Chains A and B, each alone.
Chain A
Amino acid sequence: MLSEQLLRMEGINKSFPGVNALKDVRFEARAGEVHALLGENGAGKSTLMKILAGVYSKDTGRIIYKGKEINLPNPRAAQHLGIGIIHQELNLAQHLTAAQNIFIGREPRSLLGLMLDEKQMNEDAKKLFAMLRLDLDPRTRVMDLVVAKQQMIEIAKALSFNSGLLIMDEPTAALNDKETEELFRIIRHLKDGGVGIIYISHRMDEIKKIADRITVMRDGAWIDTVNAADVEMDQIINMMVGRKLDEMSRAPGVTGSDEVVLSVRNLNRGGFIKDACFEVHRGEILGFAGLMGAGRTEVARAVFGADRVDSGEIFICGKKVRIRQPRDAVKHGVGYLSEDRKRFGLALGMDVEANIALASMEKFLGFGGVVNRKATRKTGAQFVESLAIKTPSLAQKVRFLSGGNQQKVIIAKWIVRNSNILFFDEPTRGIDVGAKFEVYKLLNRLAAEGKTVIMISSEMLEVIRLCTRVLVMCEGRITGELSGDEITQENILRLATLREAN
């Protein structure tokens, strides 16, 4: 059955400062179909959809909706045309009720438009919920609802605009299996009503279940559009990944010794970490792979003492340790390099020298607590040279360094601090390709020098290239361990979507 074309986007280009996010992308969707949009993190899916929802404006290109070329200067314009979006992050005002959230910006009014007609609004919301067969009191405050219900409110909100086209950006990221089934029921219901649905997800099993057609994007470009029934999932994954594996020369393996330096047993933290157990050896680069929100950062933060855990034991070099706050972790030689360098890792307004010395000030104190500038200068100069930090001088403010060089400053900081176990959370996020390779070299060198490196990364190629052993997480559980030749994109993706059977 070939239904009518609802949307056509062609020649879409969009760049952000420093990034060419979309390159000549095309996309089309039909009424009454579920069209899955797939690609790795950073492939440009969300950017494309935000353009379609009027959140971003395109640099060039045409959007034809229902046969007419349209302009989308703001979210409201898209809503008026009946293009609804459910963003990846929930966008609800937690303090307001379900109905108030749905009708925000177009509340029913009474008394010459001055007063809110709360009664009318609640009735309208109730009708909407009934249509979705959703059992929910419109007067419930959003903060009192579980995430799945909040998601349903977003959907109800999008539908209340009489959307002819509904974009769902990872709608099941926070849902369990049963809630996902419920969502699928609603999606099918909408589909039968002729609504076109664009569905973004990382979960291959879901795509197979719900999608009619699949479009794959990679590195900001359109790759292919296929019928879901005609392809195997392996083919799709190959399209997403693109490069053949043998193009990726693996770095000469740093295998590590047999000595276990860190052992974590039965770590639990609410719904974020479920019974995580793992060991890391001296001189090894251990990878943590998984999808967004799988719990990798949470594990690192828990070991580092940044978050309270419910239960679990941590052994460092065979000795049981209690880590209740980051200070304890640092004392035991554990370092954590946050994914958000600017927020957590650096004092941006201070210079290179000060940043390198910052975490170990007590080493540099002279008589009467005065900072020994001679010593900090020496240490700073030493690391600028050995890590090849590109900076005009030690007095350069860190703010003005490139992302890769900022990362090196943080690494220097932790080495000065005598950290032997280093967690790197997305160490190459937001830095350019050349600098990435320098960071890779540095990680290899650290491992070769006997440090233990644990790397969290969403870029599979990076994990495959660097790690001798990879743990894959899904929904807070470690779903598998891969080593040597087992570390392939296919295996990682399979484990990353291996969800707990209910």
Chain B
Amino acid sequence: MSTIAEKPVAAASAQKFGSSATQKLLAFGSLVVMLIIFSLATPNFFRVDNMISIMLSTAVAGVLGIGVTFVIITGGIDLSIGTLMTFCAVITGVFITNWHFPVLIGVLAGLLTGSLIGCCSGVLVSKLKLPPFIVTLGMMLIVKGLSLVISGTKPIYFVDTESFNLIAMGTMLDLSAIIPDFAIPNAVLIFFGVAAIAGFILNKTVLGRYTFAMGSNEEAVRLSGVNVDAWKIGIYTLSGAIVGVAGILIASRLNSAQPALGQGYELDAIAAAVIGGVSLSGGEGTILGTVIGAFIMSVLINGLRILNVPQEWQTVVTGLIVIFAVYTDNLRRRKG
């Protein structure tokens, strides 16, 4: 009998407030609480240089998180973002250091690489109807391998181009005049810029609307006459481009492309999104939430490090936080 017909009944009785908004509030609250606790626990925490260090370490994972947020809201997942980030960095390195192209061309090549790989994943997911998990798992390994092949398994250093390092580590917003040593690195500014643009796309444009709509009820969108496949490919492409930005950031920060790096970053990024209220079943999520989620992760790691908690235990705590975040999310859903 029609279990289909019952679904709307259950959904209609769901809670009044968008659960994404509650999760965001909860996440923001936890962030503030964490900041207070760590500040009280040690005077070394709430210091200008440490705050800048936190922001800097959030930037890369945050940008990755923003990229994957789009895909997760469609109801998909992208496991390739970590190694794709590295692949973009390697391509940029090859262009700039090996082939002596101008920095700008190298950066564009990196972004293009990200978009292209994202586009490929999108095509495989939408046209061949393969599960995103499998497609991006395969893509993760493919680009990881390609990074090693192209770089000859050795790091590529940006030795001749000082300006490349400034992309992330230079500063266009030096507030030292107001607060001593408070110079915000460009990486952080780029992170916020990407967040602002992504937020705009997600909330104000057609692409964003279809991102939510597909995650909410793909069949409804298809029956409305929307070219679902094309839009989905577009979303994966955009996500890939954002991953490209993360690739440039990490290469610039390390002043080198490290081909062995990258794996594991995708899980931190997905964790950030989930902590920030992006629903793994699709249809819900915000960029601001993901940004807050990314900050929670790095504040936690940073605070524990300052408190001299061994790194092994930091990892354990991060795992617990992720499970707890998803659990609270589930709890609210069931209550509805």
Contacts and interface: CB of A to CB of B under 8 A. Distances in A.
A289 B325 CA distance: 45
Interface of B is mostly: helix
Nearest to B210: A104
Interface in A297-342: 297-298, 339
Interface string A83-106: 000011111111110001100110
Interface in B1-27: 1-6, 8-9, 11-12, 14, 16, 18
Interface in A70-118: 74-76, 79, 87-96, 100-101, 104-105, 107, 109, 114-116
A143 interface: yes
A146 B12 contact: yes
Contact of A109 (B4, B206, B219): B206
A116 B217 contact: no
A292 B224 contact: no
A174 B11 CA distance: 14
B213 A107 contact: no
Given A76-B225, A87-B223, A144-B16, A292 B1 contact: yes
B220 interface: yes
B329 interface: no
B1 A271 contact: no
Interface in B195-243: 204-206, 208-209, 212-213, 215-217, 219-226
Contact of B11 (A74, A115, A143, A298): A143
Interface in A266-308: 271-272, 292-294, 296-298
A79 B213 CA distance: 19
Given A91-B223, A96-B216, A297-B1, A271 B9 contact: yes
B5 A94 contact: no
A150 B219 contact: no
B220 A104 contact: yes
A101 B212 CA distance: 11
A94 B213 contact: no
B277 interface: no
Given A79-B225, A105-B226, A93 B217 contact: yes
Given A147-B9, A173-B5, A297-B1, A93 B225 contact: no
B224 A105 contact: yes
A91 B1 contact: no
A91 B12 contact: no
A55 B224 CA distance: 10
B283 interface: yes
A292 B2 contact: yes
B205 A114 contact: yes
A75 B283 contact: no
Nearest to B219: A91
A306 to B, nearest CB: 12
B284 interface: yes
A320 to B, nearest CB: 28
B93 to A, nearest CB: 34
Name which of A100, A101, A105, A272 has the most chain B CB atoms within 10 A of its CB. A105
A478 to B, nearest CB: 15
A105 B14 contact: no
A293 B224 CA distance: 26
Contacts of B18: 141
A145 B11 CA distance: 9
B221 A104 contact: yes
Interface in A116-148: 116, 141-147
B9 A174 contact: yes
Contacts of A174: 5, 8-9
A296 B8 CA distance: 19
A241 to B, nearest CB: 21
B219 to A, nearest CB: 6
Given A89-B4, A105-B226, A292-B2, A95 B216 contact: yes
A93 B226 CA distance: 13
A150 B8 contact: yes
A406 B203 CA distance: 49
A272 B283 CA distance: 27
A93 B2 contact: no
B213 A96 contact: yes
A104 B227 CA distance: 11
B213 A89 contact: no
B156 to A, nearest CB: 37
A92 B221 CA distance: 8
Nearest to A170: B5
A104 B205 contact: no
Name which of A79, A91, A146 has the most chain B CB atoms within 10 A of its CB. A91
A74 B227 CA distance: 11
A144 B21 CA distance: 15
Nearest to A291: B1
Nearest to A80: B225
B11 A96 contact: no
Contacts of B14: 94, 143-144
A95 B212 contact: yes
Interface of A: 55, 74-76, 79, 87-96, 100-101, 104-105, 107, 109, 114-116, 141-147, 150, 173-174, 271-272, 292-294, 296-298, 339, 425-426, 456, 458
Interface of B: 1-6, 8-9, 11-12, 14, 16, 18, 204-206, 208-209, 212-213, 215-217, 219-226, 283-284
21 contacts: A55-B223, A75-B222, A76-B225, A89-B2, A89-B4, A93-B213, A94-B217, A95-B284, A96-B216, A104-B226, A105-B221, A107-B209, A109-B206, A116-B205, A174-B5, A174-B9, A293-B1, A296-B1, A298-B1, A426-B1, A458-B1
Instruction: For the complex of A and B, list the 7 residue pairs with the smallest distance between their C-beta atoms, beginning with the closest.
Output: A76-B225, A93-B216, A91-B220, A95-B283, A297-B1, A95-B216, A105-B226
